Amino acid sequence: MLRLVTGPFHPTLESQLVHDLRVLKSGNPQAAVALVVPSDQLCRSLKRLLVVKQGLALLNVHILSFHQLALQLQRERLTTVGAAGAVRQIELVTDTFFERLLQHLGQRNVPQTGALRLPQLPSGAWPALWASLRDLKDATVDSGLALRAVEEGQFPPEDGEKLKGLFTLYAALRNGSAALGVGSPDDLAALVTDFVPASPFLRSLSGLWYYGSYDLTQTQLTLLESLSVSLPVTVYFPLSERPAYGFARQFLERHLYPIAGGADERAGAASGDAAPASPEVHVSVEVRNAAGIDDELTLVCKQILSLVETNGFAFDEIGVVGRTLVPYQASLKRTFDQHRIPFLSSATAPLLQEPSVKTLLHLARLKGSGLHRPAMLDVITSPWNRRLTADRGGVEPRPDLWRSAVLALGITRGEEEWRRLAQLGRLESWSSDADDPVTEELESLAIDGVQLRLLWGCLSPLIEDVKRLPEQGGYSAMTDAFCSLAETHLTVPLGVSTAIDEMSQWDDASDVNEALSGVFAELRALDRLDVNVTWDEWADTFAEMLARATRPLAPPSHHGVQVLDAMAARGLGFRALFLIGMNEKLFPRYIHEDGFLRDRHRLVLSETLGYKIDQKLQGYGEEALLFELLRASAGERLYLSYQRADAAGRPLAPSGYLDAVGVAPHSSVPESLFALPRRWPDRVDLPLFMPHLQTREELSVSTVLQGRDVAALLEAIGRDGLLFSHGLGAQGVIESGHPALSAYDGILEHAGAHWQTVTERGLSPTALETYARCPFQYFSGQVLKLESVRPVPSMELTPPAMGQLCHDALRRCYLALIQQGWPATALSVSAITAEVNRAVLQASEAYARTHSTGYALTWELAQESVRRLIEATIMLDREAALASGFLPAEFELDANGMLPDGSGGQEIPLRGRWDRLDRHPGSGAVRVIDYKYRANDRVEAKDRNLLQAALRAQRLQPALYAVMTAAGSSGDQQGPQPEQVEFLYLLPHAAPAVERVSFAASAWQGPSGPMLSRTMQVLFDGIRAAQYFIVPDAHCTHCDFSTACRRAHQPSWWRAYRSSQARTLRDVRSQKVARD
């Protein structure tokens, strides 16, 4: 027997439910009754209503969801029927399993499915195809009957072939899932329907009450009909005369009236035993809008605090509901926590937002990616790396240094490249000095050998274990292999479970570990497909499951404001309700037709064949019903909130549902809504932003804007008040219009430490050129020692790398040729070519041991380019040696020298490194050769006129090398100063391939000598005085420190440009060579 009770949820159905339970318990306090509800939130709400508000005992009152009722019947079925013999069982699986089953069927060429083009379906289409077949499955459509309807022309003829394929694939899916013994919760409900008359649990009940459902699937309807035959069943059905209830009314009249005999009972109707009708309550309705999600949630939180502190509301009497909470995931918890508002929520956060889960995914992808550098670094430097937490004998691992070493080595992927670290790890230290001309353009690096060995100690076992992972296998075996790998190298608890139906729904797990357990259980369930997959396929499946997995945003056991989506809030009541996201395409949501089963096909299945399958666009009717149910759930106050614009300022349209309550926003009626201003000064005078309602952050901002000292407040909330006060003062100076440069513009007060360091060690030409180009660039690189934290990897050799190869190959080749008497002795072309090839090969091998060589083709092309340059340089040098008498003598020499300091009255030490030293055998005179690789084959004007470039501090190496001498083993000066410095420009694609430009050391004694001295004095004085101001120019576009520079800040640029210090540097840049 089925009894229908209809009426609005609040307070009619609630009152009728309480009344019926009192009547039942008054006759027999131990009478058993089961309440079946559609959501966990409604289950908790009913318990609170019955126990806390109504004072009723829940003895023998079972409040279950549909799935919990089916599980209860299944347990009894296995106990009762299973004892008599074999009984059919199914394992519950998730949507991912059915999608993989569909893909498996698509590979088997199911007959009549050619029109669906299953082999060509993109990966994103399989979930959509499964959704279409799931609708057919939930409606228990008979595939044979549907195919006959296609043959008889019930469906549009142009869709016949696709529908045949769809219905045939549906039949194959049903048969496949039955053969595999798997199913969905609806399959479980269908399985236990026949067991209803024999259930001891159901026989013990005095009644079974369905509460709060306005729609059921065909399987649930069949179960309800079976239940109504075996015991008294009451359905408390939400219904009203309002047009918005049309969706529910259609379901009632078409599906429930036939079961109940066509009669329903109005809840609260006048009768002797009916629940008393409640008086109509006036609900205050207000409309709010804000710009962006953060402002919308802030406005909601302010109003909640006002209700609690001013109007006596309790937190758990307030609800915040959105059609979906997905847009609010990132801001919800942060905003509520800032306002110190306790809340419980149905919202979830993506599992992949957890760093530990991302580390697991990187670990899973190592094998397929060929040990790709980003994934490897994320795993070995992760705080969950087990070896990072192990005892290292007092040595603290430095993952930051590990990253620097790997990036500097240019490691990209592959075991061979990673094994470079094994060789470096044997050294006590490994360093590359930026002042070395061989690598003058390469970044500096110094890594202690202990750290390199620690790095290799972490990498080596990981590489070996990844290599041992199976190439292919079943899902369960692959999952076990990965779990073993993860447990060996990571401390992330996996909490592996073996079956999905043994635990609660995994996507509602209470924490990350339980959600991970669900993912691994789901992977193991795929083993029923009995297919072998490659490791890449397994990793892709794992990544897809992690992308779908979620974790609760807030524990459901908390008390506080209920933040729910609209489906979870059905049937709940609130004293005050905030409806957020009242924008078009959010509420109502945007609905489109099914791509595989169009609404015209669904109409035939529903109206002609009689199946309960809804048209997709009928979902707008459910949207209207949801809004009406939520509107009616507000007991005293209803706040409707929408975004007038997003955070970027793009305008958004309000929902048309605002018309339903007569509060649609109209610009001509300002008082019809409240608009939250975007600017903070416009908010501070609003009632909702009074000091007692402000968060700590807002109160701090308000105090600062009022010009009051905020240091004490910041200290009280655990912040650094002194640091903030200092920063605020600095900001005031930086933004001021005062023309003089200050400490915040790079004019430092305490400069002694750096000047002492450079005068002890010596200044290099490259460092002085950097200061002349931009003092702030010098400050960042030489004083602060800043480095680029995100170097851009390249699979081709960079110009600095090509320069390094040329330097090393030239050194090796010249040493070999000199031993054979060259250049005094002429060697054959073949002998020179052989030496060149040998030198390039040796240099390439040495480079490849510590650097990435990139693509094989570009690496070969680079070596060929180096060979051409070396041959051209040798030919040019032989001609020059025969003409001048200077012969190559030494290579890669440290050099040092001194320059007088006109301001300090002392001499400034200089240091450098000569690429090559040529010596005249007769006079003993020397000259210095410096190689310059130019990838663009262009020698600029300043590179040809080295004297003028030196006067302008653009090329200081020739001028400063001319006053240096070769350093001895102890670092002391020895030997004569060079009489000439030559630059050899290596041009890989030009003709000629090598150009020679000279700088005569005698320029220091000529007319330009005083100008050279003045240039150097300007640079010395600037560094000594610690003047590190900015000099914006074309170099800013490729400066490594541009992100830290304030060149785009107008006051800073104006002060720097107008300063006398910058004017002095500009004067240096405009100097010209003095004429005799």
Quick: pLDDT tens for 278-336: 455 688 889 999 999 999 999 999 999 999 999 999 999 999 999 999 999 889 999 99
Share of the chain above pLDDT 90, in %: 44
| Mean pLDDT, range 168-179, rounded to an integer | 91
pLDDT (0 to 100) of residue 540: 93
Confidence of residue 663 (pLDDT cuts 50, 70, 90): low
* 497, pLDDT greater than 70: no
Q: What is the pLDDT of residue 499?
A: 42
- pLDDT, average across residues 161-177: 92
Q: Which class would CATH give 353-552?
A: mainly alpha
pLDDT of residue 954: 93
* pLDDT tens per residue, range 572-624: 999 999 999 999 999 999 999 988 999 999 999 999 998 989 999 998 999 99
What confidence score (pLDDT) does residue 653 get? 92
Write b or e for each residue in 385-422: b if 16 or more Cβ atoms lie within 10 A of its Cβ, otherwise e.
Answer: bebbeeeeeeeebbbebbbbbbbbbbbbbeeebbebbe
pLDDT, residue 428, reads 47
Share of the chain above pLDDT 70, in %: 91
| Residue with the larger pLDDT of the pair 874 and 269 | 874
CA distance 463 to 473: 20
Q: Which one is predicted more confidently, 510 or 621?
A: 621
For the cut 90, the answer to whether the pLDDT of residue 810 exceeds it is yes
pLDDT at 131: 92
Question: How far, in Å, CA of 48 to CA of 661, rounded?
Answer: 29
User: In CATH terms, are 2-87+189-266 and 284-347+554-689 the same topology?
Assistant: yes
Taking CA atoms, 206 is separated from 28, 63, 209, in Å, by 10, 14, 10
Pick 604 or 264 by higher pLDDT.
604
Residue 970 reports pLDDT greater than 70: no
CA 575 from chain centre, in angstroms, equals 39
Selection from 928, 932, 931 nearest residue 940 by Cα? 932
pLDDT exceeds 70 at position 199:
yes
* pLDDT on residue 391: 67
According to DSSP, the β-strands at 182-183 and 634-645 are unpaired
Task: Identify whether the C-beta of residue 177 lies closer than 8 Å to the C-beta of residue 92.
Answer: no
Q: How far apart are CA 958 and CA 974, in angstroms?
A: 19
Taking CB atoms within 8 Å and a gap of at least 24, the contacts of 137-140 are 137/170, 137/173, 137/174, 137/184, 137/186, 138/186, 138/217, 138/218, 138/219, 138/613, 139/217, 139/218, 139/605, 139/611, 139/612, 139/613, 140/190, 140/218, 140/219, 140/222, 140/611
Nearest Cα to 1023, choosing from 781, 757, 764, 775?
Answer: 775
For 815-851, write each residue's pLDDT tens digit.
999 998 888 888 888 999 999 999 999 999 888 877 7
pLDDT confidence tier of residue 789, bands split at 50, 70 and 90:
low
Instruction: Write down the pLDDT at residue 667.
Output: 44
Q: Take residue 535 and report the two structure tokens written for it.
A: 């490791």
Roughly how many angstroms between the first and final C-alpha of the chain, as a whole number?
120
Rounded mean pLDDT of the chain? 86
Question: Cα–Cα distance between 234 and 560 in angstroms, integer?
Answer: 32
pLDDT of residue 682: 87
Buried b (16+ CB within 10 A) or exposed e, 570-586: bbbbbbbbbbbbbbeeb
Question: Are 1027 and 1064 in contact, with CB atoms under 8 Å apart?
Answer: no
SS3 label, residue 584: coil
The residue count for the chain: 1076
Confidence of residue 439 (pLDDT cuts 50, 70, 90): very low
C-alpha pair distances (Å), 666 with each of 287, 674, 747, 1070 = 11, 11, 57, 65
What's the rounded Cα separation, in Å, for the pair 548 and 561?
A: 27
Q: What is the pLDDT of residues 1026-1070, one digit of tens each?
A: 999 999 988 888 888 888 898 889 999 999 999 999 999 989 988
Tell me which residue of 578, 716, 590 sits closest to 655, measured CA to CA.
590
Measured at the CA of 843, the angle between CA 838 and CA 849, to 5 degrees, comes to 130
Residue 511's pLDDT band (boundaries 50, 70, 90)? confident
Q: For domain 284-347+554-689, say whether CATH 3.30.930.10 is its number.
A: no
The answer on pLDDT for 888 being more than 80 is: yes
Query: Do 98 and 525 touch, CB atoms closer than 8 A?
Result: no
Q: How far apart are alpha carbons 49 and 236 in whole angstroms?
A: 16
pLDDT value at residue 869: 94
The tokens of 22 are what? 């009192």
Spatial distance between the Cα atoms of 806 and 439, rounded to a whole number of angstroms: 11
CA angle 661, 667, 672 (to 5 degrees): 40
Give me the phi and psi of 762, to 5 degrees please.
105, 150
The model's confidence at residue 766, banded by pLDDT at 50, 70 and 90, is: very high
User: pLDDT at position 434, please?
Assistant: 39
3-state class of 625 per DSSP? helix
In this predicted model, which residue has the larger pLDDT, 262 or 416?
Answer: 416
Highest mean pLDDT, choosing among 486-500, 709-723, 1001-1015: 1001-1015
Give strand pairing partners of 896.
911, 965
Q: Is the pLDDT of residue 216 over 50?
A: yes
- Higher-confidence residue of 971 and 246: namely 246
CATH class of 2-87+189-266: alpha beta
**Mean pLDDT computed over 11-37:** 90
State pLDDT tens for residues 355-411. 999 999 999 999 999 999 889 999 999 988 888 877 666 778 888 888 888 877 778
Asked if the model's pLDDT at residue 736 lies above 90, the reply is no
Pairing between strand 61-65 and 472-473? unpaired
CB 373 within 8 A of CB 420: no
pLDDT of residue 390: 74
Q: CA 956 to CA 1068: how far, in whole Å?
A: 13
List, in sequence order, every beta strand (DSSP E) within 784-905.
887-901
Domain spans of the chain? Answer: 2-87+189-266, 94-183, 284-347+554-689, 353-552, 695-735, 743-789+1026-1069, 793-884
Flag whether pLDDT at 905 surpasses 80: no
Confidence of residue 973 (pLDDT cuts 50, 70, 90): low
Q: Whole-prediction pTM value?
A: 0.80
Which residues is 473 bridged to in the sheet? 533
- List the one residue out of 815, 913, 830 whose CA is nearest residue 871: 830
pLDDT category of residue 668 using cuts at 50, 70 and 90: very low
Instruction: Give the C-alpha separation, 952 to 192, whole Å.
Output: 91
| Whether the predicted pLDDT of 84 surpasses 90 | no
pLDDT digits (tens, 9 = 90+) for 127-158: 999 999 999 999 999 999 999 999 998 999 99
343, β-bridge pairs: 561
Work out the average pLDDT over 752-771.
89
Helix intervals (H) in 690-828: 696-705, 711-716, 721-735, 752-761, 765-773, 775-778, 799-819
Q: Which residue has the higher pLDDT, 499 or 720?
A: 720
Q: What is the pLDDT of residue 437?
A: 36
The Cα-based distances of 940 to 845, 946, 985, 995, 997 in angstroms read: 33, 11, 11, 12, 12
Whose tokens are 């300090």? That residue is 904
- In DSSP terms, 899 is beta-bridged to 908
Residue 622 token pair: 């459910």
> Average of pLDDT values for 69-89?
79
Hey, what amino acid is at 696?
Answer: R
Strand, helix or coil for residue 205: coil
